[in-house]
Amino acid sequence: MKARSKAQVIIGNWKMNKTIAEAKAFVAGLEPVAAKCSAVVGLAVPFTALSAVAAEAHRSKILVGAQNVSEADNGALTGEISSRMIKDAGAAFALVGHSERRRDFHEQDVQVNLKVKRLLAVGLRPVLCIGETLAQRESGAAHEVLAKQLHAGLNGVTAEQVAGMIIAYEPVWAIGTSKAATPADVQEAHAFIRSEIVAGWGKEAADGVVLQYGGSVAPHNAAGLLSQPDVDGLLVGGASLSLESFIEIVEKN
Ligand code: 13P
């Protein structure tokens, strides 16, 4: 296999899990592994743990980020958290448009796009999540859905900005189901997403962007997924909650 031109990026998405104390202990255990790993290792943590985890990870290679961000800059929006606030708390990135937010909180592409732009405006790295449902896949609409979510999410984003972003392909049917997509299916979807980026933003943007796969990633399937030429990293949910299993995945890089 030809050498990769960029480091793979493996991020754990803790979703609504872990207290501050649990989060800090996890980071302390992960640090020595991240330090000698060729992949970039990151954690998308709850807002409440962001500041503490960022302080704990300060001198390490671990990227710390949020799982969501407001589409607004400030104002009377009770319960919302802005891009400037997460940056202030130590975030380097934030997930945007995760399927759980699209499904359970009714986030639309237009909001997802605003969130991407809010992050870019303050110098944070968006991780734009896209993916089709099982019904969409079975009806042959997977590419159409991916293209729509990609182009709407990146509407008005420059090629240079796209080159620095992460796009996570997370088929909804593979999330939390123990039924990960096969490496061949993931490669096919990633090649399609990269070709859409070439068409919309050019080859440099497509070469620079990091394409992650997420959906039931586990120690037993990580190596096969990471070996695919268009897989530049992983977004790990359930298996990132245990330090042991997340380390096992990171070490497959
Ligand atoms: P699981 O790894 O638990 O399937 O979750 C994937 C995910 O949603 C990561 O963002």
pLDDT for 4 equals: 76
Q: What is the pLDDT of residues 116-172, one digit of tens each?
A: 999 999 999 999 999 999 999 999 999 999 999 999 999 999 999 999 999 999 999
pLDDT for 1 equals: 44
Whether residue 2 is predicted with pLDDT greater than 80 in this model: the reply is: no
- Can 170 be counted among the known catalytic residues? yes
- Taking residue 48's Cβ as centre, other Cβ atoms within 10 Å add up to 13
C-alpha span between 5 and 223 (Å, rounded): 18
95 and 66 Cβ atoms separated by less than 8 Å: yes
Q: Return the HEC string of 160-224.
A: HHHHCCEEEECCHHHCCCCCCCCHHHHHHHHHHHHHHHHHHHCHHHHHHCEEEEECCCCCCCHHH
pLDDT for 3 equals: 58
C-alpha span between 112 and 68 (Å, rounded): 10
Q: What is the pLDDT of residues 45-100, one digit of tens each?
A: 999 999 999 999 988 889 999 999 999 999 999 999 999 999 999 999 999 999 99
Q: What percent of the chain has pLDDT over 90?
A: 96
Rounded to the nearest angstrom, the distance between the alpha carbon of 98 and the centre of ligand 1 is 10
Q: What is the pLDDT of residues 196-213, one digit of tens each?
A: 999 999 999 999 999 999
The preferred substitution site among 216, 221, 241, 246 for testing ligand 1, maximizing ligand atoms within 8 Å of CB, is: 216
Cβ-count burial of 224 within 10 angstroms (0-12 exposed, 13-18 middle, 19+ buried)? middle
C-alpha span between 133 and 99 (Å, rounded): 9
- Can 106 be counted among the known catalytic residues? no
Catalytic residue of the set 107, 170, 190, 196: 170
pLDDT band at 40 (very low <50, low <70, confident <90, very high): very high
C-alpha span between 159 and 177 (Å, rounded): 35
User: Whose alpha carbon is nearest atom 1 of ligand 1?
Assistant: 237
Q: Which residues line ligand 1 (CB under 6 A)?
A: 13, 98, 170, 175-176, 214-217, 235-239
pLDDT for 61 equals: 87
Catalytic residue of the set 56, 98, 107, 196: 98
Q: Give the number of the atom of ligand 1 that is nearest the alpha carbon of residue 217.
A: 2
Q: Give the number of the atom of ligand 1 that is nearest the alpha carbon of residue 240.
A: 2
pTM of the model: 0.97
User: Whose alpha carbon is nearest atom 9 of ligand 1?
Assistant: 237
Token couple for 171: 């088929």
The preferred substitution site among 13, 17, 127, 216 for testing ligand 1, maximizing ligand atoms within 8 Å of CB, is: 13
Q: What percent of the chain has pLDDT over 70?
A: 99
User: Whose alpha carbon is nearest atom 2 of ligand 1?
Assistant: 237
Question: What is the pLDDT of the chain when averaged over all its residues?
Answer: 96
Rounded to the nearest angstrom, the distance between the alpha carbon of 168 and the centre of ligand 1 is 11
